[in-house]
Amino acid sequence: MLVVMKNDATKEQVQAVIEEIERMGYRGIAMPGAERTAVCIVGNKGPVDDIRLLTMEGVKEAIPVTKPYKLVSKETVLEPTVISIGNIKIGAGEVIVMAGPCAVENAKQAMTIALYVKAHGAQIFRGGAFKPRTSPYSFQGMGEEGLKILAKVREETGLFIVTEATDNASIELVEQYADIIQIGARNMQNYSLLRRAGQPSKPVLLKRGFAATIDELLMSAEYIMSEGNARIILCERGIRTFTNTTRNTLDLSAIPSIKELSHLPIIVDPSHAAGRREFVIPLSKAAVAVGADGLIVEVHNDPAHALSDGAQSLYLEQFAQLMKEIKLLRKTGV
């Protein structure tokens, strides 16, 4: 249920409503809006008796919320959420591009790629310092040394940094060095990690698991938001189907579906969806065409010798071509 306050409701009246909700055995979370504040009731397993709340000072109305994910639902927040990171706004109509290698390998590699992608229009640099891999014998990332390289990239290029945290220990390091904390597909339903990700004030990039439904993705986002962090960026990165033509199957329908259900912005990872660099540009264009708020793309200066995901990493010149084609799409109004 959503308790909508009047335009002139005071902070004291909002707090009184939250306290009354707690006396009823639930949690109340204030959600300030452009014109008025609403208080979302969470923790109820059935209908809430709204009589006690409707008689309180400052309360305008109570609206039932039908979705199990209440905080991330469009029923709760009608206007799209815009995530601001410096001068970048994700969800405000511009296609934001995050680009970089799957894994940070050394300072020269990271800086070479960062300078190139920035010169061609990327606003955020992606690079993994902690890498959850299918095989325990594969390169697992440089850890904190990789994070220090990412911090140096930000210092010298001005690009913001997104990198993955894989557990509760690594998230403490990642929030020290990065601007966006990524929760990867393998951890989408790691609920203790999601709760921990809800505590920092930094934005969280939440990737859809390769066997997860859209409702499950949104419930995972609800875990984060219920802890107080509303700065969540969703990411469609392909789901596992019966085909082996590509690494995963990019679910383009997830973008309009999520925009219908949730106020959160959503970006697309065409690299993990395809697993093949020759498919990344067409999938990126398709994602932009259906309304994605951004892309996160893997780029490498020497993919043949990449320590992780070389086959799906764009060559530098391919990234330049991608940015040209996206720009053309936007000019034509797609």
Give the Cβ contact number of residue 251 at 10 Å: 17
Instruction: Say if residues 178 and 161 touch (Cβ distance below 8 Å).
Output: yes
> Do the domain assignments include residue 70?
no
> Do the domain assignments include residue 122?
yes
48 lies in the same domain as 134: no
Q: How many Å apart are CA 131 and CA 298, to the nearest integer?
A: 14
58 lies in the same domain as 88: no
> Which CATH number do you get for residue 14?
3.30.70.1140
Average pLDDT of the chain to the nearest whole number:
93
Q: Which long-range contacts (CB under 8 A, 24 or more apart) does 195-198 make?
A: 195/223, 195/224, 195/227, 196/168, 196/171, 197/165, 197/171, 197/224, 197/227, 197/229, 198/223, 198/224, 198/225, 198/226, 198/227, 198/228, 198/229
Mean pLDDT in residue range 307-329: 95
128 lies in the same domain as 35: no
172 lies in the same domain as 34: no
176 lies in the same domain as 35: no
Q: What is the pTM of this model?
A: 0.91
Return the amino acid letter for 215: D
> Do the domain assignments include residue 71?
no
Among residues 279, 274, 223, 259, the alpha carbon closest in space to that of 77 is found at 259
Report pLDDT digits (tens) over 99-158.
999 999 999 999 999 999 999 999 999 999 997 767 776 777 789 999 999 999 999 999
> Do the domain assignments include residue 39?
yes
108 lies in the same domain as 136: yes
Mean pLDDT in residue range 66-93: 92
- In the prediction, which pLDDT does 36 show? 85
Mean pLDDT in residue range 288-308: 96
320 pLDDT tier (thresholds 50, 70, 90)? very high
46 pLDDT tier (thresholds 50, 70, 90)? confident
- In the prediction, which pLDDT does 333 show? 64
Among residues 276, 273, 234, the alpha carbon closest in space to that of 250 is found at 273
DSSP letter for 227, please: T
Among residues 223, 215, 147, the alpha carbon closest in space to that of 183 is found at 223
> Do the domain assignments include residue 176?
yes
Q: Per-residue pLDDT for 20 more than 80? A: yes
Please return the burial class of 23, using the count of CB atoms within 10 Å of its CB with bins 0-12, 13-18 and 19+: exposed
Residue the block writes with tokens 């040209």: 324
90 pLDDT tier (thresholds 50, 70, 90)? very high
> Do the domain assignments include residue 230?
yes
- In the prediction, which pLDDT does 68 show? 86
> Which CATH number do you get for residue 216?
3.20.20.70
- In the prediction, which pLDDT does 201 show? 77
Q: For the chain, give the percent of residues with pLDDT over 90.
A: 83
- In the prediction, which pLDDT does 78 show? 82
304 lies in the same domain as 207: yes
159 lies in the same domain as 16: no
- In the prediction, which pLDDT does 137 show? 63
- In the prediction, which pLDDT does 136 show? 76
175 lies in the same domain as 138: yes
Q: Which domain holds residue 28?
A: 2-63
- In the prediction, which pLDDT does 96 show? 97
41 lies in the same domain as 93: no
> Do the domain assignments include residue 187?
yes
146 lies in the same domain as 209: yes
Total number of domains constituting the chain: 2
Which of 36-50, 143-157, 236-250, 303-317 has the least mean pLDDT? 36-50
Report pLDDT digits (tens) over 188-239.
999 999 999 999 779 999 999 999 999 999 999 999 999 999 999 999 999 9
44 lies in the same domain as 98: no
334 pLDDT tier (thresholds 50, 70, 90)? low
- In the prediction, which pLDDT does 66 show? 84
Report pLDDT digits (tens) over 258-270.
999 999 999 999 9
Q: Per-residue pLDDT for 45 more than 90? A: no
Among residues 38, 44, 30, the alpha carbon closest in space to that of 2 is found at 38
> Do the domain assignments include residue 75?
no
What are the residues facing 314 on neighbouring strands?
Answer: 299
